[in-house]
Chain A
Amino acid sequence: MSFAAPGFLLGLLLLALPLWLHRLRTASNQSEPFASVRLLEAAAQRVHVARRIRFWVLLLLRLALLALAALAFAQPLLKGKAAVAGEPAHWLVIDVSASMARPALAQAQAAAVDAALAAVPPGVPVGVVAAAERARIVSAPTTARAQVRQVAAELPATPSRVDFGALVEQLPDLLQATDGTPAVAYLISDLQATAMPDRFSRVVPPRALTLALYPVRGSDRNTSIASATVDASELVVTLAGDTAGAQVQVLVGGGAAATLDYAGGGSTRRAELDLLPEENRIELMLGDSDGLTLDNRYFLLEDQSPPEQVPLLTSRGDATPYLVSALRAIDPDAAFAPEPLLDFDPRRLSRYRWLAVEDLGALDDRQAQAFASYLENGGRLLAGAADDSVSRSQLPVTEQTVGELPLTPEYQLGGVAADHPILADLDLPDLLVSRALNIQPGDDDVPLVWLADGRPLLLIHQRGAGQAIVLNGGFGREWHDWPLQEGFVPLLGAMVEQLSGRARFEEQAFVGQLLSLPADGEISYELLPPDGDSLFGMALGSTGVTLSQVGFHSVHGSDGSLRTVAVNVPPVESDLTPLAPDVLAQWEASLAGSVAPDPLVTATVGNEPAPDRRLVPLLLALLVLAALVESAAGNLMMRKPV
C-alpha cells in the first residue's frame, strides 16, 4: 500500500486526543456514600486524568473516526495483486550521451529496456532517468510499463558526454537511495570505454544503490573531426576514425568556402580560406558516412579582427621599455604604440577603449581635464605616478591628494587585497620599494597593494563610468623593482584585462562544459545559444553556465561587448569503442548484490499488473458509518445515570 499524500498520516497523532479525553474527569461521576459531608470541602473544578479509560466502545469508535479521516486524506493506494510490498524503487537509467544518437541502437535500446523491465518484480513502479553530463529524472516511478517504454523510446540523445564515475556518484542523491530506502538502477548504455573514469572505484555504487548493467551494442564505426585550426588563412582539419572516402564541407559565415576530400589516405587536409578582418564563424560538415551523425558538424571561430590600438603616453620615457615589453608579452597582436604625451591630442581619447599614461603628473591642465571627462564617460586608464608627480599636491585626473612623506616612512609591503580579481590568481613578489608617493585615497578608491605605513602602492580609482588603475612609483625600476619581478607581466595582464573588458573567454568549448565568465563586479553577461530560445544571465558571483547545445553561442556583455563561443560535441563521444570485456566483467563483478540481469530476456508486453486501487471511497463509507455509530453510542452511554 502506498499513499498519494502521506503527509496527512501525521493526522494519526490526533489519536492521542480521544485517549486523553476519555481519561479526563472534570468530576467523579460515580458517587460514593459517606457518613457526612459536613467537614468536606468541594474541590475546585479541575481536570483529572483518570487511571482507567472510560467508555471503551465510544473511545474505539472515536479512534476509528480519526484514523479513517487521516487515512482518507492520505489517499491510500492498494497495489495491484502482483504488487510486491517493501520493494526498493526501481529506475531505468538510460544513457542519452551523444554516442547513443546512433539510429542503429534504437532497437537494441528498446530490447535492453524490456530486459530491464522484466527484471523488475511485477507491480513495482519504475522511473526513468536520463544520464548525460548530469543525470535527471524524466519520469517518476509508475507501474505502467507501457508508459515507461514510451518514455524510454522517446528520450532523445544529447550532444553531451556521460561519465560513469560522475553518474554513479550522482545517482544515490538523485534517486534518494539511502540505507533506509534503497534503490535499484538499470543502466542502459552503449558502455563507451571513454566514459569510464580514471579510477575504477568511482563506478562502484554505494550499498544503498543496486546497479545492473544493460549494454546496448551497435556498430562502433565512426568518423569524426578530431581537430580544426586556422593558421593565418589556412584551415587545417584532421579527422579521426575511418577517413576513407570522407568529405568535409567548409562553410564560412554560412557560405560554402571549401570542400576537403579525404580520398587517397591521410587524415589531415588543408584549405586556404578567404577570411574577413573580423570574427569568422567557420562550420565544418562531415559527410554522412557513419552511424553517428551528431558529431559530424564542427564549429570553429577565427577572429581576424585588426589589433586594438592602445596608445602608451610617455613623458620621460624611463618606463616605456618595461611597459611595452610587458604588454606585448600579454597580447602580441595588440598595437601598443608609445607616443609622447606632449604630442597627444586629447580629442583622440574617444577612439580608445583604454590607454596608458606613464606618469599622471606629466599631464597639463588641459589634458587632465580631457582625461577626467574621458573617465567620466567610461574610459579606462592605466597610469603611473612617479617623478613628474612628486611636485604635485594633487594628482591630475584622479585628483588624489599627494601628502608629505610620513616622518618614519615604511617601505615594506603592508598588505594586499587578495580577493580582488586583479590579484586573485597572482603571487605578489617580495617587492623592493625605495620611493613611494604619499597618495591619499579618496572615498571611491580601492587600494589593492599598500605599504606598511598605509601608503597605497596600487589602487583603483573610480570616476563616473570609468576607472583608472594607478601604480605608485610608475612602471619603471627607479622607485621599485616590480617591473623586474617575474609576476609583473601577469599583474599587468590582469590590469589590462580589467581595463579592456576583454574577458578570458574560451572561444572553443564542448557541450557539458561550464563556461566561466570573469566577474569584475561591473559587467554582467548574457549567453545566447544557437537555438535563440535560451538566454542565461550571469551576474556577479555566478560561476558560469553549462553549455548544452552545439553551435555558435553569443555572449553579450553589459559593457556592449559581444563575444562568440564555438561549442562542439565532446570528442570522447566520437570514440565508440565499447568497454573492454575484461573491464566490463570487472565492473559487473563489483556490482555484487545487483539484480541478475539477463539482457536476452524479453519482457512480456501487455502483461501489466493490476492498477492501483484507490481506497478513499471505502474509507469515506467507513467514516460515515463510524460517525453514525459513534453518535448513537455517545447518546446512549452519556445518558446513563451516574
Chain B
Amino acid sequence: MQTRSHLLRPETLNAFGNLELLARSVVEGMLLGLHRSPVFGFSQEFAEYRAYRDGDDPRHVDWNVFARSERMVIKQFQGDTNSHLMIVLDASASMSFGEPVSKLDYARMLAACLAFLAARQHDAPGLTVFDESVLRYLAPSRRPGAQSALLATLENLEPGQGTRFQPALESFLGRVGRRGMVAVISDFHRDPEVLLERVQPLCLAGHDLVLFQVLDAEELRPRARGPRLLRDLETGEAVEVSPDFLARDYPERIQRHVDDLRTAVGRAGGHHLLLETQQPLGPALRDYLKFRQHRR
C-alpha cells in the first residue's frame, strides 16, 4: 500500500488526516517508483567527481582517490543540493472551490509533499501563505522542527479573501536572498500578462520558478444543463450564463487562459504545471522533479 500511495486519488489522500504521513507515503512511494525507472536515478548515489574548492566540506573528499593520486576531489551525489524550496500557496477564497476535494485541500497536500520531497533532497523548504496579503511566512529551513511547523501550518489553513500575488512575492523577495526553487500553488485566475509582471522578478533574481495551477474539473468543463447564475467566491459578483456558453465558449476560454499562462511563465523562464484536483499527486511530483533535474 505504501508503494502505491502516490497514485491514490486525492479524495482518498484527503482522508489521511495527517499531512506528514500523507506526504511521506506519497513521496516515498514515488521515489521507490523512480528507483525502478531507467531514466531517473534519484538517491544518495554517486554522480561524479569534481575538484575540491575552498569551502567544501572535507567530509566529502574522496580520500581513496587522494591516496592513489594525491588529488583532492569531491564526491558528488544526486540530490545533494543544499538549496531551498519556497512554497508560495494561494489560500484565497477561490481555492475553496471544488468537490469532493477543494483546490485548497489539493494544494495543501501538494505543498506537504513538495516540502517532504525537498527535505529528502536536503533542500530547505519554506512556506508563504497568502490571499490578499501574506497570511503566514515560514522561512526555508532544514531544521527538524521547521518541517513540522510547515506541515502544521498547512493543516490549519482556512480559505481567505481575495487574491493578490504582489504582496506575497515581494515579501518573499525581500526576505530570501539566496537563489532557490519557488513553487507557486494557485488557481491563477488572473490575467497572465499581469501575473507575468509579478513573477518575473523572481526569475530575474535567479530563482527557479514553477507554477502549479490547480483547477477543479468543474472549472475546466462546467456542467451546461441549463442557465446558471454563477457567483464569484472572491468578489461576490454573480453572472447569469447560458448553457450554450458553458458548453462551447467557456471551455475554450479557460483552455486559452491556461495556454496563455503557460506561455507567459515560459517567457519569464519558469515552468507551468496544470493540475486537476482529481489527479493523483504522484505524477505532479514527478513533473516537478523532472523540471528540477533539468534546471540542474
Contact = CB atoms under 8 A, between A and B. Distances in A.
Given A35-B94, A35-B219, A40 B229 contact: no
A32 B231 contact: yes
B242 A43 contact: yes
A37 B234 CA distance: 10
A25 B240 CA distance: 11
A48 B225 CA distance: 12
Interface string B203-231: 00000000000011001000000111111
Given A27-B240, A48-B226, A35 B97 contact: yes
A558 B247 CA distance: 85
Interface in A308-367: none
Interface string A23-47: 0010111111111111111110010
Given A38-B189, A41-B249, A43-B242, A32 B229 contact: yes
Nearest to B257: A39
Contacts of A43: 227, 240-242, 245
A51 interface: yes
Contacts of A46: 227, 242
A35 B241 contact: no
Name, among A35, A39, A48, the residue most crowded by chain B CB atoms within 10 Å (CB to CB).
Answer: A35
Which of B232, B235, B253 has the most A CB atoms < 10 Å from its CB? B232
Contacts of A39: 189, 250, 253-254, 257
B187 interface: yes
Contact of A31 (B97, B189, B229): B229
Contact of B231 (A33, A38, A48): A33
A50 interface: yes
A360 B166 CA distance: 127
A30 B254 CA distance: 24
Contacts of A25: 227
A36 B241 contact: no
A37 B237 contact: yes
B239 A28 contact: no
Most chain-A Cβ atoms within 10 A of its Cβ — which of B190, B237, B240, B242?
B240
Contacts of B95: 35
B103 interface: yes
B229 A28 contact: yes
Q: How large is the interface on A (under 10, 10 to 19, 20 to 34, 35 or more residues)?
A: 20 to 34
Contact of B230 (A29, A37, A48, A50): A37
Contacts of A38: 189-190, 232
A42 B239 contact: yes
B233 interface: yes
A38 B257 CA distance: 11
Q: Which of B215, B228, B235, B249 has most chain A Cβ within 10 Å?
A: B228
Interface residues on B, range: 20 to 34
B157 interface: no
A64 B276 CA distance: 52
B233 A28 contact: no
A261 to B, nearest CB: 105
Interface string B86-130: 000000001101100001000000000000000000000000000
B176 interface: no
Overall SS of chain A's interface: loop
A232 to B, nearest CB: 104
Given A28-B240, A38-B189, A33 B97 contact: yes
Interface in A101-144: none
A29 B187 contact: no
B227 A48 contact: yes
Contacts of A40: 230, 239, 241, 245, 250
Interface string B238-263: 11111001000110011001000000
The residue among A30, A31, A34, A48 with the most chain B CB atoms within 10 A of its own CB is A34
B157 to A, nearest CB: 17
B187 A36 contact: yes
Output the residue of A29, A40, A41 with the most chain B CB within 10 A.
A40
Given A31-B230, A43-B227, A36 B250 contact: no
Given A41-B241, A42-B239, A32 B249 contact: no
A30 B229 contact: yes
Contacts of B234: 36
Contacts of A32: 228-231
A280 to B, nearest CB: 97
B270 to A, nearest CB: 21
Contacts of A34: 97, 219, 230-233
Interface in A44-68: 46, 48, 50-51
Nearest to B223: A32
- Name the residue among A27, A37, A41, A51 with the largest chain B CB count within 10 angstroms: A37
A42 B245 CA distance: 9
Interface-central residue, A28, A29, A46, by most chain B CB under 10 Å: A28
Given A31-B238, A46-B242, A36 B227 contact: no
A115 B118 CA distance: 112
A51 B226 contact: yes
Contacts of A31: 229-231, 238
A34 B220 CA distance: 12
A37 B229 contact: no
B187 A35 contact: yes
Contacts of B245: 40-41, 43
A35 B216 CA distance: 9
Given A35-B97, A39-B254, A40-B250, A27 B242 contact: no
Contacts of B239: 37, 40-42
Contact of B227 (A28, A33, A37): A28
Interface in B245-296: 245, 249-250, 253-254, 257
A50 B228 CA distance: 11
A641 to B, nearest CB: 13
Nearest to A26: B240
A36 B229 contact: no
Contacts of B233: 33-36
A36 B226 contact: no
A146 to B, nearest CB: 66
A42 B216 contact: no
A183 to B, nearest CB: 54
A36 B238 contact: no
Interface string A478-490: 0000000000000
A25 B241 CA distance: 13
A36 B213 CA distance: 14
A31 B227 CA distance: 10
B134 to A, nearest CB: 21
A51 to B, nearest CB: 7
A31 B237 CA distance: 10
B131 to A, nearest CB: 14
A34 B233 CA distance: 6
21 contacts: A27-B240, A28-B226, A28-B228, A29-B229, A31-B231, A32-B228, A32-B229, A34-B231, A35-B94, A35-B97, A35-B216, A35-B232, A35-B233, A36-B94, A37-B237, A38-B189, A39-B257, A40-B230, A42-B241, A43-B227, A46-B242
Given A43-B242, A46-B242, 13 more contacts: A25-B227, A28-B227, A28-B228, A29-B229, A31-B229, A33-B97, A36-B232, A36-B233, A37-B230, A41-B250, A42-B241, A43-B240, A43-B245
Interface of A: 25, 27-43, 46, 48, 50-51
**5 tightest A-B CB contacts, nearest first:** A36-B189, A28-B229, A43-B242, A34-B230, A35-B97
